[in-house]
A and B are shown apart, each in its own frame.
Chain A
Amino acid sequence: MSFQAKVRSQDGVVTFRLAGELDSRSAPRFHEMITQAVVPAARKLVLQMDELSYMSSAGLRCLVYAHQRAGNGVDIELVGTQPEVAETIRLTGFDRSLIMRAHR
């Protein structure tokens, strides 16, 4: 399934809703969305992951980029991450820089 992403900002909380497959083909689009949406006023990022079925290392690179762009002290919360995607994140150790939640 092709990648889809929506973004919404409210009171400093930037929420991304991701669906489909985030790989090297779709990653540049998500990267651009992060650049646009993650501004200095952002104090928390929430990623709705439940409809994301696959994430390659290019997709993970986007999360690392979001983390750097948001800066220290800005929480990144991943909600409803599917087991295989969670495993990709866990394997690289990046889960330590994120908050993983089953539900909102």
Chain B
Amino acid sequence: MTSATALLVAEPAACTDELDRALRDDGFEVSHADIDGVESQAADLVLVSASFGLHRIALLSQRLAGPEDSPTVVVFPGEDLEELQACVRGGFDYVVPPFLPALLRTRLTSCRERGRLTRAVEEMAAVASLREYERDLSIAREIQSGFLPDELPCPPGWELAARFRPAKQVAGDFYDGFDLADGRRLGLVVADVCDKGIGAALFMALIRTLVRHTAQHTGTGDPACDIGVEPLRQAVCGTNRYLARNHLRQGYFATLFFGVLDPDTGMLFYINGGHNPPVLARAAGGRFLLEPTGPAVGMMPDSEFAIGQTRLLPGDQLFVYTDGVVEARDNGGGQFGTERMLDLIGRPASCADVLLDRVDERLRRHVGSAEQSDDITMLALRRQVRGRPTGRREAQG
């Protein structure tokens, strides 16, 4: 107890001479204060008169509790022993007269040790509950990754690639790519569930499942229509109906782009449900935006979705993304912006992966050390130029 400091907190009129003397005899540097005059970092040991009452003493103790080391707070009796009892019942340690140095020293040592133990237990409990939360979250992340495709299908003559960077452990974004109609069509999806965190992640899992399952289990329908159209329509309308019927009150919805490609002809049928318009960059020059053909999915029960259509020619590429790309912020709060993104997409790229790496690299440079504020998802589909395969897959295979 070398150069330890003690603070005696009592009414100015109260007599604390005996306690003061005993503490000094024990090597303490003693100072005095009224209860309102106590500053944090006041002393190693704070002795408070029980005459202030449990409530004020508890507030003082709270005020003195620091993030690192808090002083040990001990009460001593004023005139009324009832007040002391109330404090002891409230969990405070105490000393009582006669204040003889040897007795006081033993009591204070045990008070101090008990205080340290209590704090250690509280800290351990806090750390344990944080660890448990972190473990749950990392399990959620792992399960969620099972709702993304292990690898994207890639019909001959085409490249399909994606990038996915959640802002938190779990994401509301997702992308998907799967075969339809016995491999005669390719389905591709990019979606953004509103909001983020665990709630959005749960709805991501639901929406992804509904869309994929419905698309893959819907027949090709009317022979006069393209074989991809009916699965497309059913998947989006069915998912909207399901969400509106069962989950409208929770207020989650998703913006979603779902395209169905005929790899032989390059025809693409699509529904854009309130999603940031995908960009079609033509090899011959020019960019086209695939604007919404209906509202966000799950927002309203009576939504209608039209089918859009376009055709990818050799060398054309389609870039589908979520708002996390254009709304990515730098340290000053400045957004990445649509113009910058369009400029990057408009330049020729040797393959889909190169295009995504280019945008991703510029995005990372823009965000710099700022915190990533939203999930970032990008998907690129590119039709290869016949006879001149330039994609990475070909180079490796």
Which A residues fall within an 8 A CB radius of B? 23-24, 27, 56-58, 60-61, 64-65, 68, 91-94, 96-97
Contact = CB atoms under 8 A, between A and B. Distances in A.
Given A92-B274, A93-B274, A93-B294, A64 B299 contact: yes
B289 to A, nearest CB: 11
B251 A61 contact: yes
B255 A91 contact: yes
Contact of B248 (A23, A68, A91, A92): A68
B251 A65 contact: yes
Given A93-B292, A94-B296, 17 more contacts: A23-B373, A24-B196, A56-B374, A57-B194, A57-B255, A58-B195, A58-B196, A60-B194, A61-B194, A61-B252, A61-B253, A64-B194, A68-B248, A91-B275, A92-B292, A92-B295, A93-B303
Contacts of B253: 61, 64, 92
Contacts of A23: 373
B99 to A, nearest CB: 53
Interface residues of B, number: 26
B299 A57 contact: no
A68 B249 contact: yes
B257 to A, nearest CB: 12
A9 B323 CA distance: 34
26 contacts: A23-B373, A24-B196, A27-B195, A56-B323, A56-B374, A57-B192, A57-B195, A57-B255, A57-B323, A58-B194, A58-B195, A60-B194, A61-B252, A64-B299, A68-B248, A91-B276, A91-B292, A92-B274, A92-B292, A92-B295, A93-B273, A93-B292, A93-B295, A93-B296, A94-B296, A94-B299
Contacts of A96: 295
A24 B248 CA distance: 19
A68 B251 contact: yes
B94 to A, nearest CB: 43
Interface string B295-331: 1100110010000000000000000000100010000
